[in-house]
Amino acid sequence: MKFQQLCVLGSTGSIGESTLDVVLRHPDTMAVYALSAYSRMEKLAEQALAVHAKVVVVPTEQARERFRRAWAGNGPGPEIRIGAQALVDTVLDSQVTTVMAAIVGAAGLPSALAAAQAGKRILLANKEALVAAGGLFMRTVRENGAELLPIDSEHNAIFQCMPQNARATIPTEPATGVRRLLLTGSGGPFRKTAIAQLADVTPDQACAHPNWSMGRKISVDSATMLNKGLEVIEAHWLFAMPVDRIQVVIHPQSMVHSMVEYEDGSILAQLGQPDMRTPIAYGLGFPERIDSGVGLLQLATLGRLDFEEPDFERFPCLRLSFDALKTGQAACVALNAANEIAVDCFLKQQIRYTEIAPVIESCLERITGCSDTNLDSLDDVLALDAHTRGIATELCLLKA
Ligand code: NAD
Ligand code: MG
């Protein structure tokens, strides 16, 4: 395997931490060049020391001071760069071969896109980048010979179950012989909660995912199943699959990470523990298989695997996502931006859990005039993203 120098964007997050865990198991084939974080500078300093990072990227001067104070190593420590442009510049550094895009939200789009422009190997966890700018992102990957490995567990599973030749190129049409993609989702913590009680659930209840341990934003998205909606859009772009050939299936045990259905009736599935180190190790090692530190899946102990239809009344955000994908790219940008604001307000206890979907729906109605043809560049996407955030913030304030 060629030696890889990594830039881990969002290293202090759940995916970032799992990434460093896997990287440290393979000192002969990979090393960390750069790390980035938006908060938790003490954690970042600890990580930079453990992996001997050459560069860290932090958001502000104050964060740089906090990093300096937290630095416990001998010597001056890594070079500290500041701000969003520094994320892009660091991705472009010639030493970097591989970029783990694990910033949460559309904030991760510019740096992920830069990695595509520079033709790097991209391990893409940041699904919001594909939701907001799928067409632009995939085109940029293709035109610059970048390598794209999906890290989201469902898409990583689908990638693993795809025909071999489909893994070698960035698709422009569905892989030959594939009939449908079956995306599994656990249904989150409220799969069985009485619908009438959902108005009173707390952020901590929403973040208590039954199977996965993740950042708070994606945990709320998993509760509303907007996460699965974002993943439908993500799958559409990654695998060039029309929306009517992507099916969502509830699978409460989260052991089957997703499936590919073929024309002959075969369904190939990828199974494993719900531990993100498996897809991360797959991306890092590709095309080889490397140790991830994940233990065995004891099927006999597990006993059974269940599957159910998703309920759109319980999960209105899932319906809104399908509708947005059918409507077009502007709607997808707005869906994502409105959701980021609504989830943030819910986490701050400014709006109720059940107000997340109505905020998104109102934003989608308010931007119906925006045409997809004006979304060819990063600036266009970011402008609509900012515009929608403004509307969503106003709507949340009215409800607060
Ligand atoms: P997290 O909240 O745990 O971590 C997010 C990271 O991004 C942190 O390092 C944070 O400092 C950084 N960050 C936050 N806001 C930023 C900003 N404005 N600019 C720059 N950096 C910023 O999130 P996570 O759970 O690790 O998820 C990261 C991404 O991976 C998300 O897009 C999520 O949807 C995706 N993902 C996560 C999981 C999972 O198991 N956690 C699974 C699949 C996909
Ligand atoms: Mg997922």
Q: What structural domains does the chain harbor?
A: 4-150 (3.40.50.720), 178-273+301-399 (1.10.1740.10)
Between residues 63 and 399, which one has the greater pLDDT? Answer: 63
Question: Using one digit for the tens of pLDDT, what is the confidence trace for 312-363?
Answer: 999 999 999 999 999 999 999 999 999 999 999 999 999 999 999 999 999 9
Instruction: Report CA-CA distances (Å) from 124 to 108, 113, 388, 392.
Output: 10, 11, 24, 27
Which residue shows structure tokens 């993609």?
181
Tokens 């109720």 belong to residue: 352
Ligand 1 geometric centre to CA of 254 (Å) = 20
Long-range contacts of 60-68, Cβ-Cβ distance < 8 Å, separation of 24 or more: 63/39, 66/41, 66/42, 67/41
Ligand 1 centre distance from Cα of residue 16 (Å): 8
With 0-12 / 13-18 / 19 or more C-beta atoms within 10 angstroms meaning exposed / middle / buried, residue 334 is: buried
Q: Cβ neighbours of residue 303 under 8 Å, at least 6 residues apart?
A: none
Predicted TM-score (pTM) of this structure: 0.98
Question: In this predicted structure, what is the pLDDT of residue 372?
Answer: 81
What pLDDT digit, counting tens, does each position of 232-243 carry?
Answer: 999 999 999 999
Mean pLDDT, the chain, whole residue set: 97
Instruction: Tell me which H or E stretch contains 5.
Output: strand 4-9
**Mutation probe of ligand 1 site: the residue of 151, 214, 225 with most atoms within 8 A of C-beta:** 214
Separation of CA 344 and ligand 2 centre (Å)? 19
pLDDT of residue 353: 98
102 CA to centre of ligand 1 in angstroms: 5
Can you tell me the distance from the alpha carbon of 250 to that of 256, in angstroms, rounded to the nearest whole number?
10
| CA of 37, closest atom in ligand 1 | 11
Instruction: For residue 396, report the distance from its CA to the centre of ligand 2, in Å.
Output: 27
Q: Which atom of ligand 1 is nearest to the CA of 213?
A: 40
**In the prediction, which pLDDT does 369 show?**
81
Residues with CB under 6 A from ligand 1: 10-16, 37-39, 102-104, 107, 125-128, 152, 212, 214-215, 217-218, 276
How far, in whole angstroms, is CA 207 from its chain's centroid?
16
Read off the pLDDT of residues 154-179 as tens digits, 9 standing for 90 and up. Answer: 999 999 999 999 999 999 999 999 99
How far does the centroid of ligand 2 lie from the alpha carbon of residue 231, in Å? 7
H/E element holding 223?
A: helix 216-224
Mean pLDDT calculated for residue range 389-397: 97
Q: How far is residue 37's CA from residue 70's CA, in Å, rounded to a whole number?
A: 14
**pLDDT at residue 21 in the model:** 98
Q: Supply the pLDDT for residue 212.
A: 84
**DSSP 8-class letter at 175:** P
Q: Which atom of ligand 1 is nearest to the CA of 129?
A: 32
Relative to the alpha carbon of 56, which ligand is closest?
A: 1
Dump pLDDT digits (tens) for 60-69: 999 999 999 9
Model confidence over 7-30: pLDDT tens digits?
999 999 999 999 999 999 999 999
